[in-house]
Chains A and B, each alone.
Chain A
Amino acid sequence: MERTRGLLRLEVQLLFVLVFLYLGFSIIEPDIFISVRTIENLARQAGVLLVASVGQMLVLVVGGFDISVGATAGFASTALALLVDDFGLYGAVTAALALGALVGSVNGFVIAYLGVNPFVATLAMLTFLTGLSNELSSGASVPITDRGVSAFGADEWGPLPGTMGIGLVVVFIAYLLLNRVRAGLYIYAIGGGRETARLSGISVARYEVLAYAMCGLFAAVAGVMLASRVTLGQASLGAGLELESIAAAVIGGAAIGGGVGRLLGAAMGVGILTVLTSGLEIVGVSEFARQMVTGVVLVVAVAFNQRGRIGEWAIVKLAKSLLHGRVARSRGP
């Protein structure tokens, strides 16, 4: 009970950080930030990352991670663009999503049944998919001829930007999976105590594959949304999503190593990361400098995430030694 409250407190803290960031940027650039259009743009941006991060959180909770989500998104966009002429829009979208789920299942199979380390398995998948997408598209971007594709992210969904609408649907599906069905419980149980789960008669490998398959599916959803916005398919369309999704989930409290993670936290992480990077872009910080910030934020988030383990000690010790050092120096002659 106490712990649940603690996690909620984390999300309140994150909300505070988000508001603080937004207010900060609003003070620097009030004309841009205090406007509905900016908020809409941020939401449009965040929708894609939200979908990828929810998938990433599933595999983080089960005790792994997936660095092939960006490549999977790119592959899905390429497949959509190539198939849309022959299968029609809905057929092509369905095929792209199914291929994403297939990619995730292969990741899960290689990791759970063949015992390959998640880093190696998904790095290999990243490389493979990038090659495959470029092979199929002859290394070029493929325009999507069907105008209707804009329904999958580019258009508005009522008052919401399309990506955010799709994002909320994905969050709802993930909520049902994680909190309302047996499979979700087992995903938490496996991440928190593999051996315990195994001895409880849970077929651990099967649920690991499920988590990776869902991650692949959601990565493909992200890829379709990106394709919808730029009306083309391209291998590199989702580049960077893998690290940003891990960062968002971890900022939101998901533990690398498994067992811990909440959707609301991940959503907050997405919000913070989006406001931070877009905000820096708007105030004129270069793309390269923004990449540097993302890297630093990821490490700081993981360090704070280790609270109660090594991280707190390291940080507290560091702070204390700095303080002591300063005190000692100021006492000197």
Chain B
Amino acid sequence: MLNSPVAERRVPAVRMENVTKTFPGVKALDRVSFDVDHGEIHAVVGENGSGKSTLLKLMVGAFPMDSGLIRINGDEVRLRSPREARKRYGIKIMPQDVELCGQLITGRNIMLGLEGALVDRNRLSRRERAMTTEVLRLIGAHVDPQVLGEDLSTPEARFIQIAHALLPPVNVVLCDEPTAVLSTVDAEALLATLTRIRSEAGTAIVYVSHRIGEVLQIADRITILRDGRSVGTFRRDEIDRQQMIELMTKSASAGKQGAPSQDAARGAAKGGRLAVRALGLGRSFSDVSLEVAAGQIVGIAGAQGAGFGPLLAAIAGRINYDFGSVELDGVSIPPGSTTKAYKSGIALVPADRRRAGIVPSLTVRENIALPVTGSLGRNGFRLRRAERETSRKFAEGFDIRGAGLNTMAGNLSGGNQQKLAIARSLQGDPKFLLLEEPTQGIDIGAKSEIRHDIGQLVRNEGMGALVASSEFEDLIGFSDVLHVMRLGRIVATFDGKTATYSDILHAALP
């Protein structure tokens, strides 16, 4: 057993009472009470900015709270640092980003922070090996502890983070959006593991997620936050999906989808047809053929690693391909040049928002104006007024909220960053928009807005959109045609209006 048996079952592992935390200008948490028991999964849901992350960070002592108190196993404590929370009270956090120390072997990543004074960097001692084997067995992961961290896939790295969190002393494990970067298939495996750890090891688990479906699947209790306040705590059987969404968003309208009518769109079409013919690249994808017409939304569903990332990158000229061709209205676009693809009218909104979609250290205005700074200037000088006007038009069109044009893009919420990335990609007046994981890691309200925005572009501007996602539910009812990719090939094609979740899952499972 990794967890010491708990004498009094009734005492919560962690209890927070009337906790308030204010940041300059924002009340992040307002008199929130929350508790989690041993052997329980307690989910926290809410839109971006509702205070979920702040709650987790207070629980690991990342910063002090303004008022309220924390009890651990019944005793009032003051957490001064993540180090103290971890070493003394066994409170571990699994951060949203999947990051391991790439140059260290997996076993060292699992043991990190628990070593004795003498360690062999490249090898585990017998005791350490026993501990890692035990914890890997508990979570059911089959990873060689000698493999370097950077050689692991994203799902494997996620499991290693769980293993890291489960080494003693362990009292509470806090999971911050653990499935955000995982495909549906890998997420299922992770949920099963968490459920088993809860039951077998009696660990208390706090689970923060945007994915309502999985919360309803694994949580014993659910707390809903809205604007820094607790709206209520429910047992799983007391609440359903629709009620949760209503409580999170204040209105039930968030479920609406911006599905455009194909016929209506045809009229305003910019014209053109993007054809991908028998495209292939090494082991990434092969023999992929598909077409996107103006005024059409084509979806690609698949597990992560199914190959749609490289496929979109190849179509947009970001990487080269080995076979096939990409044609726009019958004219083939030379491979491996983003400049040429961009000039032909193909714009990519990559999944890697912070690194490739926006420049976090520039303002909203500068981000939007970036692709056209040249044409907006005169004689090589930037014309700030022209930049401002162009960017304002787009910022308003996309309803980028909670921020002025001079806000640093890196400070925006995930949903607003995504909108900004899309707005930026529109600056070259593209005919076709390729979007990779456009709704990844953003809240439900923002997801439906993004879908709505894409729908608007297709319907009103007559653009064509190719949307690839590992979150299948975001494609259903949204795309006109829905392809399913598996192991680099298109294995099924559905009518986007009538496809069901289980159809897609069935086709996408390797």
Contact = CB atoms under 8 A, between A and B. Distances in A.
Interface of A: 1-4, 178-182, 184-185, 188-189, 191-193, 195-203, 259-260
Interface stretch (B144-152, B283-291, B477-485): B144-152
A182 B119 contact: yes
B168 interface: no
Interface in B485-505: none
B115 interface: yes
B8 interface: no
Contacts of A184: 119, 121
Given A182-B119, A201-B113, A193 B100 contact: yes
Nearest to A202: B113
Contact of B122 (A179, A191, A192): A179
A198 B93 CA distance: 11
Given A3-B150, A4-B122, A182 B103 contact: no
Contact of B112 (A1, A4, A195, A196): A196
11 contacts: A3-B151, A178-B121, A179-B120, A179-B122, A188-B101, A191-B103, A196-B99, A199-B93, A199-B95, A202-B83, A202-B113
B147 A203 contact: no
A59 to B, nearest CB: 16
B246 interface: no
Given A3-B148, A3-B151, A201-B86, A195 B104 contact: no
A106 to B, nearest CB: 24
A188 B109 CA distance: 11
A184 B87 CA distance: 20
A185 B102 contact: no
Which of A2, A179, A193 is the most central at the interface, judged by chain B CB atoms within 10 Å of its CB?
Answer: A193
Given A185-B119, A196-B112, 6 more contacts: A179-B120, A192-B103, A196-B99, A199-B95, A202-B113, A259-B101
Contacts of B97: 195
Contacts of B115: 182, 185
- The 4 residue pairs across chains A and B that have the minimum distance between CB atoms: A200-B113, A192-B101, A201-B113, A201-B86
A185 to B, nearest CB: 5
A191 B118 CA distance: 20
B121 A179 contact: yes
Contacts of B117: 181-182
B82 interface: yes
B338 to A, nearest CB: 13
B317 to A, nearest CB: 13
A181 B100 contact: no
Nearest to B146: A1
Interface string B305-317: 0000000000000
B148 A197 contact: no
A268 B101 CA distance: 25
A184 B118 CA distance: 10
B108 interface: yes
Given A193-B101, A200-B164, A188 B148 contact: no
B116 interface: yes
Contact of A200 (B86, B102, B120): B86
A204 B172 CA distance: 23
Nearest to B161: A196
Contacts of A201: 82-83, 86-87, 113
A259 B102 contact: yes
Contacts of B119: 180-182, 184-185
B154 to A, nearest CB: 15
A131 B39 CA distance: 64
What's the dominant secondary structure at chain A's contact region?
helix
Contacts of A188: 101, 103-104, 121
A192 B112 CA distance: 12
Contacts of A202: 83, 112-113
A259 B60 CA distance: 26
A252 to B, nearest CB: 15
Contacts of B164: 200
A180 B82 CA distance: 26
Interface string B58-86: 00100000000000000000000011001
A192 B102 contact: yes
A189 B151 CA distance: 16
Which of B102, B103, B108, B122 is the most central at the interface, judged by chain A CB atoms within 10 Å of its CB?
Answer: B103
Nearest to A317: B336
A200 B97 CA distance: 14
Given A1-B147, A201-B113, A192 B82 contact: no
Contacts of B99: 193, 195-196
A327 B363 CA distance: 44
Contact of B104 (A2, A180, A192): A192
B131 to A, nearest CB: 15
Contacts of A259: 101-103
Contacts of B86: 199-201
Interface in B351-375: none
B360 to A, nearest CB: 16
A180 B102 contact: no
Contact of A182 (B60, B87, B118, B149): B118
Which of A180, A189, A195 is the most central at the interface, judged by chain B CB atoms within 10 Å of its CB?
Answer: A189
A192 B151 CA distance: 14
A196 B113 CA distance: 10
Contacts of B113: 197, 200-202
A199 B101 contact: no
A3 B101 CA distance: 14
Contacts of B95: 195-196, 199
Which of A188, A199, A260 is the most central at the interface, judged by chain B CB atoms within 10 Å of its CB?
Answer: A199
A194 to B, nearest CB: 9
B85 to A, nearest CB: 9
Interface string B110-140: 0011011111111000000000000000000
A107 to B, nearest CB: 24
Contacts of B102: 192-193, 259
A197 B82 contact: no
A212 B201 CA distance: 42
B104 to A, nearest CB: 6
B104 A189 contact: yes
A191 B113 CA distance: 15
B240 to A, nearest CB: 35
A68 B60 CA distance: 38
Nearest to B115: A182
A181 to B, nearest CB: 6
A65 B331 CA distance: 51
A228 B82 CA distance: 48
A199 B121 contact: no
A140 to B, nearest CB: 46
A124 B428 CA distance: 45
Contacts of A4: 122, 148
B109 to A, nearest CB: 8
B120 A180 contact: yes
Contacts of B112: 185, 189, 196-197, 200, 202
Contacts of A197: 101, 112-113
Contacts of B101: 188-189, 192-193, 196-197, 259
B103 A199 contact: no
B48 to A, nearest CB: 20
A171 to B, nearest CB: 16
Given A3-B148, A192-B103, A180 B83 contact: no
Nearest to B112: A200
A161 B113 CA distance: 41
Contacts of A199: 60, 82, 86, 93, 95
Nearest to A196: B99
